[in-house]
């Protein structure tokens, strides 16, 4: 008795079906768990220390470039009055009721919420900050209200490594 098809002639068709099933998945089976978090790459940047071992860089604060000094001893991101103006915070309308101690002595500051602070690719949203009264401080300090929100930060061989 002769069969209309032989086994060797259907092997390529079966092999193709196996490959297509493996590539597309079985019907009703999901390739990815929809509840699983999306893959996210870690942002990282390195800053070189300047003379004296300080880390000075340019930060994007609320979409404006502001020169900052990284200061782990500062509780918050502390903006000078002038830098706050540059970042669009309208310091003339702020309420300066928070007592602060700076290298220049005692003063007052106003609490603000910064939309974002970004150093190169490392970005943190909704950062607590302080704006100091006019003339109270030259420059801006990038303090712990930013640094503590990172996945990690460390100093090694004259480099500050920020990861988020």
Q: What is the mean pLDDT of the segment spanning 76-104?
A: 94
Q: Per the confidence metrics, is the pTM higher than 0.85?
A: no
pLDDT level of residue 76 (50, 70, 90 thresholds): very high
150: pLDDT strictly greater than 60? yes
In angstroms, the CA 50 to CA 54 distance is 5
pLDDT at 23: 45
pLDDT at 11: 47
Q: What is the mean pLDDT of the segment spanning 1-29?
A: 48
* Domain range for 50: 44-163
Pick from 75, 56, 73: nearest CA to 138: 56
| Helix (H) / strand (E) containing 125 | strand 122-132
3: pLDDT strictly greater than 60? no
Count the Cβ atoms, other than its own, within 10 Å of residue 63.
10
How many domains does the chain fold into? 1
Q: What angle do CA 84, 87, 158 make, to 5 degrees?
A: 85
Q: Is residue 10 part of a domain?
A: no
Q: What angle do CA 53, 160, 111 make, to 5 degrees?
A: 90
- The CATH code of the domain that includes 94 is 2.40.70.10
pLDDT level of residue 157 (50, 70, 90 thresholds): very high
């Amino acid at each position: 008795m002769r069969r209309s098809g032989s086994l060797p002639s259907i092997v390529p068709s079966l092999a193709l079906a196996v490959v297509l099933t493996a590539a597309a998945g079985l019907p009703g089976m999901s390739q990815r768990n929809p509840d699983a978090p999306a893959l996210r790459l870690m942002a990282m940047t390195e800053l070189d220390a300047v003379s004296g071992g300080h880390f000075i860089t340019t930060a994007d604060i609320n979409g404006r470039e502001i020169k900052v000094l990284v200061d782990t001893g500062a509780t918050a991101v502390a903006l000078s009055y002038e830098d706050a103006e540059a970042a669009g915070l309208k310091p003339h309308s702020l309420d300066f009721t928070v007592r602060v101690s700076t290298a220049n002595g005692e003063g007052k500051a106003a609490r603000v919420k910064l939309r974002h602070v970004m150093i190169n690719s490392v970005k943190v949203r909704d950062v607590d900050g302080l704006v100091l009264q006019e003339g109270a401080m030259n420059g801006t300090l990038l303090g712990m209200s930013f640094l503590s929100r990172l996945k990690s930060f460390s100093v090694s061989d004259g480099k500050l490594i920020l990861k988020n």
